[in-house]
Amino acid sequence: MANPFTYLELHSTDPAKAKRFYSELFGWQTKDTDVPGFGTYTEIPEEYQEVLDRLARKHSAAASAVPAPEIHNLRSSGIAIVAIGSCDPAVREAVDLLAQTGIETDYMRIRGFPFHKSVEEFLYAHELTFVVEQNRDSQLRSLLTLETCVPKTRLRSVLSYGGFPLSARQVADAVVRQLSDATVLADGAT
């Protein structure tokens, strides 16, 4: 054959029968794609749904195995700050700076995904939560709105993505600015 097929997706409700048919008709050789740990790749709707349902169960089970978040202060002020990873030192210092100005906040450092159940409990315990991130796209805030039932209007973004390390002053100033701005956007943008 001058120009052989190197790839073919076979859509059929009876893959074994279809493979036999095309092999006999055209002399094609077929090979299933095995995905280690997941079985054979398929686009049969029922089998595909079964694979996705299994992944959802694994995702759910993993939430109980990830480390619980670190929660600090618990002043029950109604205002919280949430961050991950390298934001931690600047946010801890910002919490102290805010307290010096009379703004009491609780702080949660998320340490894993999928989120531990206490993440959602913490978010619900506060009327307003500032989500501090060092990226342009509010990735953590997006995950929190997708993976918890907390209304996104209760989550405000504090973003820093200029390439320099996050500073406590940036965090504190952004929180103060949003608290004092009566026109804070409902979508949480700063």
Token pair in block for residue 87: 């934001």
Q: What is the pLDDT of residues 143-170, one digit of tens each?
A: 999 999 999 999 999 999 999 999 999 9
Q: Cα–Cα distance between 12 and 44 in angstroms, integer? A: 7
For the cut 70, the answer to whether the pLDDT of residue 133 exceeds it is yes
Q: Cα–Cα distance between 99 and 81 in angstroms, integer? A: 13
CB-CB neighbours of 23 under 10 Å: 12
By C-alpha distance, which of 107, 106, 119, 109 is closest to 86? 109
Q: What is the pLDDT of residues 8-57, one digit of tens each?
A: 676 777 878 888 888 888 877 776 777 767 666 666 677 778 878 988 89
65 versus 33: the higher-pLDDT residue is 65
Tell me the domain boundaries of the chain.
Answer: 15-63, 70-180
Assigned architecture for domain 70-180: 3-Layer(aba) Sandwich (3.40)
Backbone angles phi, psi at 71, to 5 degrees: -120, 130
Rounded to two decimals, the pTM is 0.72
- DSSP, collapsed to helix, strand or coil, labels residue 171 as helix
Q: What is the pLDDT of residues 94-131, one digit of tens each?
A: 999 999 999 999 999 999 999 998 999 999 999 999 99
